[in-house]
């Protein structure tokens, strides 16, 4: 099995031509022999969190867009945050994930304090069955990068893919400026 990648970022390689995955950045919450679970961190939806969850209206993070976390279980909400008090699973120091209503209630209370926690909500997730991600890595479909809480919680758009690659060395930095269609080179 490939090295355990929980807590890393996966960036779609330029060769990954499926428009659903182009320039996608996934934070891997969990990766083990059973598969992988992650959240797409650079695909905002057109819906604000407060429009999707009106009970959160008025909270600092409620005006942010609800992120498109991936194509699996899009009716479910998943959470990334930086509050030790709100708890959750952690694959990266200072970054927690989960999806239960108790966590969301804790974050809503904490958000009323100054400074409140940084919070991102995602509709759906990206998932791989056992061995599937390893196969995609062998096919060079994904680039693995370090995940830093600031980068993960502040990501919010398509430009994040190129910005992360530019922060890497060598050939990865060159990939950041590659056209969407490799035939344009």
**Residue 142 within any structural domain of the chain:** yes
Give the rounded distance of the alpha carbon of 21 from its chain centre: 13
CA distance 51 to 123: 13
Q: What is the pLDDT along the chain (185 residues), one digit of tens a residue?
A: 456 899 999 999 988 877 778 999 999 999 999 999 999 999 999 999 999 999 999 988 999 999 999 999 999 999 999 999 999 999 999 999 998 899 999 999 999 887 889 999 999 999 999 999 999 999 999 999 999 999 999 988 889 999 999 999 788 888 888 776 655 44
**Residue 2 within any structural domain of the chain:** no
Q: What is the CATH number of the domain that holds 76?
A: 3.40.1740.10
Domain count, the chain: 1
**Residue 1 within any structural domain of the chain:** no
Q: What is the pLDDT of residue 91?
A: 94
Q: Report whether 1 contacts 63 (CB < 8 A).
A: no
**Residue 88 within any structural domain of the chain:** yes
Q: Quick one: CA torsion of 60, 66, 72, 73, rounded to 10 degrees?
A: 70
Both structure tokens of 14: 């330029």
CA distance 29 to 95: 10
Which residues span the domain enclosing 150? 8-184
């Amino acid at each position: 099995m490939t090295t355990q990648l929980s807590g890393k970022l996966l960036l779609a390689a330029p060769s990954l031509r499926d428009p659903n995955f182009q320039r996608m950045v996934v934070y891997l919450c969990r990766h083990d022999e059973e598969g992988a679970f992650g959240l797409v961190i650079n695909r905002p939806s057109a819906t604000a969190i407060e429009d999707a969850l009106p009970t959160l209206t008025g909270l600092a993070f409620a005006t942010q867009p609800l992120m498109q976390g991936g194509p699996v279980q899009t009716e479910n909400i998943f959470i990334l945050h930086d509050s030790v008090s709100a708890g959750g699973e952690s694959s990266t120091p200072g970054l927690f994930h989960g999806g239960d209503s108790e966590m969301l209630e804790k974050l809503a209370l904490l958000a009323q304090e100054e400074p409140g926690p940084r919070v991102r909500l995602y509709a759906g997730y990206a998932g791989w069955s056992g061995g599937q991600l390893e196969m995609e890595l062998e096919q060079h479909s994904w680039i693995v990068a370090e995940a830093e809480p600031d980068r993960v919680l502040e990501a919010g758009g398509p430009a994040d893919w190129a910005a992360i690659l530019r922060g890497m060395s060598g050939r990865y930095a060159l990939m950041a400026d590659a056209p969407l269609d490799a035939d344009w080179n």
